[in-house]
Each structure stands twice: as C-alpha cells, then as structure tokens.
Amino acid sequence: MEDLLIFLQQLINGISLGSIYALIALGYTMVYGIIKLINFAHGDIYMVGAYVGFFAITKLNMSFIPALLTSMVLCSILGIIIERMAYKPLRNATRIAALITAIGVSLLLEYGGMLIVTPQPRAFPEVFPQTKISFFEGKVYMTNQQLVIFAVTLILMVLLQFIVYKTKTGKAMRAVSFDKDAALLMGININNTISATFAIGSALAAAAGVLVGIYYTSISPLMGIIPGLKAFVAAVLGGIGIIPGAVVGGFLMGIIEALVSGYGASTWRDAVAFGILILILIIKPSGIFGANIREKV
Amino acid sequence: MLKVNNINVYYGAIHAIKGVSLEVKEGAIVTLIGANGAGKSTILKTISGLLRPKTGEIVYEGKKLNTMEAQDIVRSGVCQVPEGRRVFANMSVLENLELGAFLRKDKVQIKEDLEKVFEKFPRLKERMTQLAGTLSGGEQQMLAIGRAMMSRPRLMLLDEPSMGLAPLLVKEIFSIIKEINLSGTTILLVEQNAHMALSIANYAYVLETGKIVLEGPAKELAESEQVKKAYLGG
Ligand SMILES: Nc1ncnc2c1ncn2[C@@H]1O[C@H](COP(=O)(O)OP(=O)(O)O)[C@@H](O)[C@H]1O
Ligand SMILES: [Mg+2]
C-alpha cells in the first residue's frame, strides 16, 4: 500500500514535470518537422519566457494570465526573428551548418542573457500561494501549482490541436512539413508558414518557462540547457517531427524522472534521461510513433 | 497565353535546359514529349517558379513568371499537377482538395468547385475522409488533378499523368484531361506516353537532352517517321 502511494505521488509530480517537457518538446518537433533542424536554441527561448514572465509579474505587476500571454507573444516574436536572421539564410546549406548555427544562437541567448539579467538566479514571485489538495489522509497530495501547470498545458494542447488540424495555417504547416515543393504548387507561402511554426513553438516554450517559474520558484540564464536537452530526448522518444509523439514523450520523460527521484535515486535522474536517448537510438531511432524506415511528419 | 523564350536552366553545373522556347495558345492542349531525363519536369518546374532560368524569360498573359514567386504564379492562374502525383499522403482527400484552393477566399465558389470535382471523380467523394496515402495510384492521380482544379486554373500543367497506371486508367485520365480542356482550361501536357499525348493534343514539342528537336501540329508529328521511330515504337 505504501509503495502504491509513493508511486501515485510520483506520478502526480511526473505529470507536472512532464507537462513542461511536453510543451518544450512540441516546439522541437514542429520545427524539425518543417525544416529538419534540431533547434538547440529552443531551450533558451524557454529561459527567456521565464524571465519575461518574471519581469511582467514583478515590474509590471501583472497577474498570472496576462504575464503568461505577454511572455508567449514576446517569445513568438523572438522565435520569428531568430529564424529569419539565423536559420533562413542557411535553408539550402548543409544540415550541420544549421545545427552549429543553432548552438551559436543558444550560446548567444545564454550569455547575452547573463549580460542583461546577471547570472544570479532569481526567486520567482509566488503567484499562487501554495495550497495542497490531499488524498489518502495526506499521504498523496497535489499542489495548486501542479494543477495550474496541468490545466494550462492541457488548454494549450487543445489549442494547438485546433490550430494544426482546423486552421489554414495549420494545414499549410502540415503540407510544408510533408512536401515543400508540392506545398509551393498549392500557392502556400513557405516562409510565412515556417515563421508561424517558430512562433507557435516559441510561445509554447515561453509558457513552459513561466509555468516552471511558479513551480520551482527559481530562474537563471542557464536554466534552459538541461530541460531543453530532456525535451529534445522526449521529442526523439515520441518520434521527432510527430506532434502527438512529443506530448507522449514529454509526459513519459517527466514520469520516469519523477519515479527515479522518488525511489531515492535522484542523483541519477539526468543520467536516466540520456540513457533513454541512447536506448531509443539503438532500439527504435524513429521513436514510439515513428514509422520504421521513413522519417515523416 | 504562355510563351517560354529561350530559357537555360541549370542544376549547379549541370546544364539541364538548353535554350528552350515554346508557346501555348489559349484553349489548346499542347504536349511536350521526350524520353526520361530529357528535361520535361525541369521545364514545368521552371514555369511554376520552383526553379529559376539562368537566362531567358517566361511570359504568361504579359506577366514575367520567371521573376514571380511560386504563390503568385498560382494566383495568376497557372497550376501544376506534378510528376508522381505528390498528394499529401498524411491528409484526407478532402483536405488535399482544400489545399488546392489555398489562395482562394470565395467560400461559396470553392464549395461549387468541390462539387464539380466530386462529380468528375465520384470515387474521391466516396473516399473523402480517407487519408490520401491509402488511395490507389489511379485515385491519387485523380486527386492530384482534382486538387489542381480547385485553384480554378486557366492554364494547367500536367507532368506525366499516365505514369505507372494501367492502360484502362490511362484512357480514363486522358479523357478527363480532354474534358477539362473543353470546359475552358488550357493544357500543357508533359508525357513519355507519346502515343496517348499526341492523340489528344493540338500541338506538340519533342524534347531531347534539354533541347527542342522537333515541333508541329500533333497529327503531323504522330505521322512523322522520326517520331514514330523514337517514341511510338516504330
Ligand atoms: N535536382 C536535380 N539535381 C541535379 N540534376 C537534376 C535534378 N533534377 C533533374 N536533374 C537532371 O536534369 C535532367 C532533366 O531531368 P528532368 O527534368 O527530371 O527530366 P524528365 O522530366 O524529362 O524525365 C536529367 O539529366 C536529370 O538527371
Ligand atoms: Mg519528369
């Protein structure tokens, strides 16, 4: 019984953490789907998102939702600018050139960020005073912050689903991901479609940044590195380029990490994450949802 | 309606199209025949704006297509059914057709055109919600043609629509192309199947390794010894 309760508790923690990974992984996977680039700067967008949220709340006295939206909007613009300036000129270059550029953009955001906001970690303000919802006589609980994270993630995912499957932009995104030349023949504007993809992916990462702020309460300019890498693993786990794959991969990563920590091996949790990457690459490089041979959207 | 003037197209150092000129008159079916690798697809891609000619120009109703974006070329009424159909296999038949009308905003007419496509291809209507990737080759070709019709083109470019289809289906596809032409759409048809192409075309060009080697009314070409020998199996 005790074991089961610990498991339940870690499942709740894992879903919260997994929400964050899933939100970041979505951006990785959408960008990969459309321009076949692993955008290593994506984790840093999440960091910028956390800072925008931080300043919106502390300096502009915004409440949670306006701060979240501000952060999402500013980061989508940042995502578009990064794509136009850094990646677009390399669209016909080798993949490795674009990849190295992405690492460069990532370093620029990290160290540029340090310059602007100082390397000092900052305490994220308590937006929601913590209360606990208890189950099983308090042996298992969920904080209201976890509830907010999960709710916001769910809403964003439904919204994303709607955009990708029901709107013209979403259809264009799927068409361009599948076959660029055929999409051009339909009259689809490839550049705008790629921009839209970066905007959406960056907005989701920004939301993850603000959510992580209220959950872990501490933010710093290098905070994007490890979650960024783990979200990347999540995207690969689900099948890179496949949207539902990123969601499932993200939640799985979060749950596995929480379980590893919960059973007293918390120093191993990062190692486990990257162990998973190695395992997928050996067993099924195309990921859970991936077709076996072809790489596809 | 369309004039291609002395274009040269390169893939890096490869000189694929060497000074090709051709003309498509309004209302006609013009065919461009030639063996595999002659450069037929390259010409169509250049007209559609996927490739740029290094020199020469492409003029369509007074507009220079060779400096226009692909989307503006579609908007001005030139639409292509690409080689190998290139349907969006991960999307439904209906979504594929909707993408054909991507640049249009006239919702009512789009619905009418959709009905027209379904009238022409009843099989597509039956499979409306199915993923395009699950269709047979012939159905995919119909979808690719239907998708092109959805942009309401005035000039339709078709790249080897008969490729990989059984003879009966080829006949069906060609009679549909003829119908589309009769309802007012000008056609530029690229084919390896010279026999079928010459049978429905008004005018024809023969392409060999990037150059036009022969041109004339389709009937005359079908009778010419040179064409018979090289493209019609003696
Ligand atoms: N993407 C490409 N890169 C380099 N060469 C190409 C490319 N596409 C086609 N070619 C070459 O250009 C020539 C014409 O090709 P294509 O237009 O596809 O011929 P066709 O459609 O008549 O079969 C061929 O020699 C082909 O090898
Ligand atoms: Mg070809």
Task: Tell me the per-residue pLDDT of B121-138, one tens digit each, with 9 for 90 and over.
Answer: 999 999 999 999 999 999
Q: How confident is the model at residue A130 (pLDDT cuts 50, 70, 90)?
A: confident
Q: Is residue A263 part of a domain?
A: yes
What are the extents of the domains in chain B? 2-87+152-231
Whole-angstrom distance, CA of residue B220 vs CA of residue A118: 80
Q: Which residues line ligand 1 (CB under 6 A)?
A: B 11, 14, 16, 34, 36-42
Element at B188 (helix H, strand E): strand B186-191
Task: Give me the pLDDT at residue A295, please.
Answer: 41
Residue numbers in A near B74 (CB within 8 A): 185-187
Determine whether the interchain pair A179/B74 forms a contact, defined as Cβ–Cβ distance below 8 Å.
Answer: no
**Contact status, residue B124 vs residue B143, Cβ threshold 8 Å:** yes
CATH of the domain at A188: 1.10.3470
Kindly determine whether residue B71 and residue A168, on different chains, have CB atoms separated by under 8 Å.
no
> pLDDT per residue over B67-102, tens digit each?
999 999 999 999 999 999 999 999 999 999 999 999
Within 8 A by CB and 6+ apart from B4, the residues are: B20, B21, B22, B23, B43, B47, B56, B58
- The answer to whether the pTM exceeds 0.80 is yes
Domain count, chain A: 1
* pLDDT value of residue B224: 87
Minimal C-alpha gap between B99 and chain A (Å)? 6
Whether the complex's predicted ipTM surpasses the cut of 0.90: yes
DSSP state, A124? P
Residue B210: pLDDT over 50: yes
Angle formed by the axes of helices A243-260 and A269-283, nearest 10°: 140
Q: Which CATH superfamily is domain B2-87+152-231 in?
A: P-loop containing nucleotide triphosphate hydrolases (3.40.50.300)
Query: Could you tell me if residue A172 is inside a domain?
Result: yes
CA distance B100 to A279: 42
- Closest chain B residue to A187, measured at CA: B71
**DSSP-based three-state secondary structure for A293:** coil
**Ligand of minimum distance to the alpha carbon of B18:** 1
Domain that holds residue A106: 2-283
**Does residue A16 sit within a domain?**
yes
B107-120 and B137-149 helices cross at what angle (nearest 10)? 150
Q: Is residue A297 part of a domain?
A: no
Tens digit of each residue's pLDDT (9 = 90 or more) over B140-194: 999 999 999 999 999 999 999 999 999 999 999 999 999 999 999 999 999 999 9
Give the containing element (helix H, strand E) for A140.
strand A140-143
Helix (H, G, I), strand (E, B) or coil at B170: helix
Instruction: Kindly determine whether residue A188 and residue B100, on different chains, have CB atoms separated by under 8 Å.
Output: no
